Structure 1
Amino acid sequence: MKRRIFLSTMLLALMIAGQAQDVKNHNLEVAKNLEIFNTLYKNLDLMYVDTLDANKVVTTGIDAMLRSLDRYTEYYPEERQKDLKTMLTGKYAGIGALIRYHQKLKRVVIDEPYEGMPAAKAGLRKGDIILQIDDTLMTDKQTGYVSSHLRGEAGTTFVLKILRPSTGKKMNFKITRESIKMPEITYYGMRPNGVGYINLNTFTGEPAKAMRLAFLDLKKQGATKLVLDLRGNGGGSLSECVDILNMWVPKGVKIVETKGKMKRANSEYKTRLEPIDTVMPIVVLVNQETASASEITSGALQDLKRGIIIGTRTYGKGLVQVPNVDLPFNANLKLTTSRYFLPSGRGITMEEGIKPDIEVKPDTMANITLYLDRLDSTEVMFDYVTEYIGKHPAIGPAKDFHLSDADYADFKQRVIKAGFTYDQISKKQFEELVKTAKFEGYYDEARSEFEALKHKIDHHDVARDLDLRRDEIVQVLEQDIVSAYEYQAGQVQVGLRTDKAIREAERILNTEGEYQKVLNKLP
């Protein structure tokens, strides 16, 4: 026995000594490399051919160092503190509207005002051309410059001069900047057969409060099943996530655990209140942009067998950040300190993400639609929508709005008349391929194939493609038009008409026994 105690004591002593040596070696390596870095910079500053910009060079070094760790640990120097605040709160002060550069006009225009924000309250519309902000002309400026002048301190007032294409009139708007924050819930409402639907946009702000009100309202309207749409939701507050889950999960249940190197980074998060409804069937919609708190929400419901998931694999952000590690000279560090672990003990990684119980991949957008919507230098779709809005003071409820056959025929003719072409990317890549083929000496041998491909790229049958992709293009047009009247909520409603994931969710919820069958398959 004494021999055993002696051996155990010796082994423990050796382990402690080994750990102490490891710490000593680590500290030596840190000191050595910091001295190298410091001496290297001093030599650069002394001998390099040009004068160094200390802020630029050191910040570049810091950013490169942090990139070697993970994509979420970030350095915020003093001049970027506003960016950090916007990231943490989801708020900034401005007019509350998306703007874009109109390629044909070579002007910055209003793209999409947000509901209830200064731009919408002042009466700005999609397509309004920004001419001047106070005394500063904007007609020769890019989007970033215009955006920086639209933003400012909340409560400050400026005069915005615009040209409205639908009337040809120049108009002045006196606008007071406000703290801008996107709504936590983009849209919620009733679907057929007692299915409630909530589109949760973010976990930043006070989403738990908004979710509770929306859920209670849906129950009041007769909801007996729920679809929670977390597609595109990049996450936010962990405590808000737990409080949202608490609506459907009993009090005292562990939702998530965090584990890190430091003791204070280790925490357990449990539900704190009595739930609203622990039996209503829940389907969560996710995609590859569902991240962080959204993944905890969907993953916890899955682990606890409290809901099922439909869509595609999620983003895979299982890391926790402390957003405000103070640094000298008013700088900050957003630092990854721990990892998330769900009730089952599983983590959330980039390689895995949260896997849906039923995979439903979204339809891919055709090239012609993509170019018309985002990449068209003629801006024919944007201009059509702007003109349509100008001619129609009202369109009725979003769920009932449809473009007529005559409307689409008109749009089609405008596209053809504008000389619209697409696949410019394919054309550039083809030209590079031709250069390579000629350089490597096999172009002449395959000349006929190259020429056939070139003809295809150069001669799209745009009229045929507009007919072939009619339904897809019409939906994009209808979403853009509806957003001018009912903002983002209207966009969501129009999109749900052809949404494969919502159709599958409703099939599962409305087919007797189907929801339970999927739930029972969960491990």
Structure 2
Amino acid sequence: MPQKSPKSIKNWLIASLSGISIICILAFSSPGDRFFEIAKNLDIYASVFKELNKFYVDEVNPNQAVKTSIDALLKSFDPYTVFYPEDELEDFLTMTTGKYQGIGIILAEINDTYRISFIEENSPALKAGLGIGDQILSVNGIALSDKPEADPSKLLRGQAGTKILVKVIKNGQTTPQEISINRETVQIKNVVYSGIIQPGVGYILLEDFNASAAKELKNALQSLKQAGMKKLILDLRENPGGLLTQAVDICNLFLPKDSEVVSTRGKVEEWNKTYNALNPSMEPELPLIILINNHSASASEIVAGVMQDYDRAVLIGQKSFGKGLVQVTRDLPFRTKMKITTAKYYIPSGRCIQAIDYQHRNPDGSAVALKDSNSKTFYTKNHRKVVDGGGITPDITVDKLTTSSFTIALQKQHMIFLYACYFRSNHPNIPPAKDFSLNTTEYQAFCTWLKKQNFKFESQIEKQLHIISELAKKDKSYANMEPSLQNFRKEWASNMDRELSAYQSDISTLLEQEIVQHYYLQKGMNEWSFSKDPSIREALKLFEQNNRFQSILAGK
């Protein structure tokens, strides 16, 4: 059978779209106006595509054009209803299963180079001697600088058991070397850290809810119990959520069998369902504190909210994100998929914590945020007051650390990361992660290094003065303001020494965290944080005050 030319494929696509539209009109005109409107607009869409294909000055790429139009359509609903074309299917499967075939690194584009910013423990890359800060030049002879042809993530991935040849400049060196690495199936961990952080107190950091989340958490609990755990801190901060079923299974670890966990309600009534704990609880009495913040979303909010509703755990941190929507995956033609929001979820108290109303929009098109005044009151098992909408409110609020515009600029321009690379190239070893800190001399070394970099910073006051100055130049009546503005500029001009001194504590913390990660990866970064993290310190303090802990859960 002869191959079709690109042009004939396009014409076939247009004809197919037109045919679908005609069928839709015939099929749906009788049930009602709504179906007729759908069919009519599909016909209009096919006609627009046909005219573009015939007459547009440049060649029309059908895949790209249709993908763009679908994305624009779905954007008008909510951020979680997403279309996955065939070439993005691997990313979708990685998100749901937590597995992919590759070497276990994440690259960051920094100053027109690609450096390793994260590396999985026990990954092929780590076994081959790669580390954070190493610069990847090419993969199998394809230079990563050859954009847009080279997509680093796709070049690094491939069938397990195959080899790739990576040209790399190791951190602190100047001469490239070629390293052969065997690709493997890499499992992205949900439980990225578990350990005893104080006598009797276990800590588990759960970062995701892919298909193995509940199993990993169960295994971590068993190990910690054997190590002498009597109390647990479960960290769900920065956890974006994932599979609803995993959230239910995790709640089941702490709740009795048959306890209602969550229910879903949507337009398709036969899909509405109540999920109950199906198994005997593994830890029905273990004292539990859960940490959340404003990036804890979806499945992590289900776990935190359910534990709060049953007065099973004390929540510490900041109000969670507020995603109370449920998505299901639908298979589409030609190996494409669509994740679509089908319902809202409700936890045992009856509340839904969805914070944004995507159905109603502001005049500028942005979604409407739920106002606190519209919140409804619900009650936990011990009759504690809780509210719906806007996320989960913790029982103990720990103020979020504020970040200055200067430290934000340091991070955006990768100065913290690059200095950690520089530091490691000059220090073969550092103390154990939990003991590491920068002294005054080492901080001054960073200040000296920074002044030699191409780092640019302009304070908000300076930016406003520039705006005022430009406005004054356009109006003659303000010409006499220029001398005063010049004096203001001198007074408020960014002074790097002043900024570095004013925010030394914050900058030192960021540097320590990044440096520790370069040496000890994720595990080390967590161990470093235990003595410095305000929410963890608050949790440890509460565990030492058992009467206070119990009174919070009792609603007294």
In structure 1, give the amino acid aligned to 2:257: K
Q: 2:421 — aligned with what?
A: 386
Q: 1:59 — aligned with what?
A: 67
In structure 2, give the amino acid aligned to 1:336: T
Counterparts of 1:37-116 in structure 2, within 5 Å, are 37-46=45-54, 52-103=60-111, 106-116=112-122
Q: 1:227 — aligned with what?
A: 233
Is 1:468 aligned to 2:502, yes or no? yes
Q: 2:265 — aligned with what?
A: 259
Is 1:406 aligned to 2:469, yes or no? no
Asked if 1 retains the 8 angstrom alpha-carbon contact of 2:436 and 2:512, the reply is: yes
Is 1:35 aligned to 2:43, yes or no? yes
Q: Secondary structure at the match of 1:81?
A: helix
Q: Residues 169 and 485 from structure 1, CA distance in 2 versus in 1: closer, same or farther, beyond 3 angstroms?
A: same
Counterparts of 1:399-438 in structure 2, within 5 Å, are 399-418=434-453, 420-423=455-458, 431-432=466-467, 434-438=469-473
In structure 1, give the amino acid aligned to 2:511: L
Q: 2:184 — aligned with what?
A: 178
Counterparts of 1:311-350 in structure 2, within 5 Å, are 311-323=317-329, 325-350=330-355
Q: 1:240 — aligned with what?
A: 246
Q: 1:4 — aligned with what?
A: none
TM-score by length of 2: 0.81
Is 1:307 aligned to 2:313, yes or no? yes
Distance in 2, matches of 1:182 and 1:479, equals 22
Distance in 2, matches of 1:235 and 1:154, equals 28
Distance in 2, matches of 1:246 and 1:71, equals 29
Asked if 2 retains the 8 angstrom alpha-carbon contact of 1:421 and 1:462, the reply is: no
In structure 2, give the amino acid aligned to 1:455: K
Distance in 1, matches of 2:88 and 2:43, equals 28
Q: 2:127 — aligned with what?
A: 121
Q: 2:408 — aligned with what?
A: 370
Distance in 2, matches of 1:388 and 1:250, equals 51
In structure 2, give the amino acid aligned to 1:404: N
Asked if 1 retains the 8 angstrom alpha-carbon contact of 2:459 and 2:494, the reply is: no
Q: Secondary structure at the match of 1:364?
A: coil
**Pick aligned residue for 1:189 from 195, 207, 224:** 195
Q: Secondary structure at the match of 2:354?
A: coil
Distance in 1, matches of 2:165 and 2:264, equals 49
The structure where helix makes up a greater share of residues is 1
In structure 1, give the amino acid aligned to 2:517: S
Asked if 1 retains the 8 angstrom alpha-carbon contact of 2:96 and 2:211, the reply is: no
Asked if 1 retains the 8 angstrom alpha-carbon contact of 2:133 and 2:518, the reply is: no
**Pick aligned residue for 1:478 from 499, 509, 512:** 512
Q: CA RMSD in A?
A: 2.8
Asked if 2 retains the 8 angstrom alpha-carbon contact of 1:348 and 1:354, the reply is: yes
Which shows bigger deviation, 258-267 or 425-434? 425-434
In structure 2, give the amino acid aligned to 1:504: E
What runs of 5+ residues in structure 1 fail to find an aligned partner? 1-20
Q: Secondary structure at the match of 1:513?
A: helix
Is 1:487 aligned to 2:492, yes or no? no
In structure 1, give the amino acid aligned to 2:350: G
Q: 2:298 — aligned with what?
A: 292
Alpha-carbon shift at residue 452 of structure 1 (Å): 4.3
Distance in 2, matches of 1:456 and 1:375, equals 25
Q: Secondary structure at the match of 2:339?
A: strand
Asked if 2 retains the 8 angstrom alpha-carbon contact of 1:113 and 1:120, the reply is: yes
Q: Residues 190 and 56 from structure 1, CA distance in 2 versus in 1: closer, same or farther, beyond 3 angstroms?
A: same
Q: 2:215 — aligned with what?
A: 209
In structure 2, give the amino acid aligned to 1:462: M
Distance in 1, matches of 2:286 and 2:32, equals 57
Asked if 2 retains the 8 angstrom alpha-carbon contact of 1:107 and 1:140, the reply is: no
Percent of pairs with identical residues: 36
In structure 2, give the amino acid aligned to 1:483: Q
Alpha-carbon shift at residue 255 of structure 1 (Å): 0.3
Distance in 1, matches of 2:36 and 2:442, equals 73
Asked if 2 retains the 8 angstrom alpha-carbon contact of 1:207 and 1:240, the reply is: yes
TM-score by length of 1: 0.86
Asked if 2 retains the 8 angstrom alpha-carbon contact of 1:434 and 1:443, the reply is: no
Q: Secondary structure at the match of 1:30?
A: helix
What runs of 5+ residues in structure 2 fail to find an aligned partner? 1-28, 356-369, 371-389
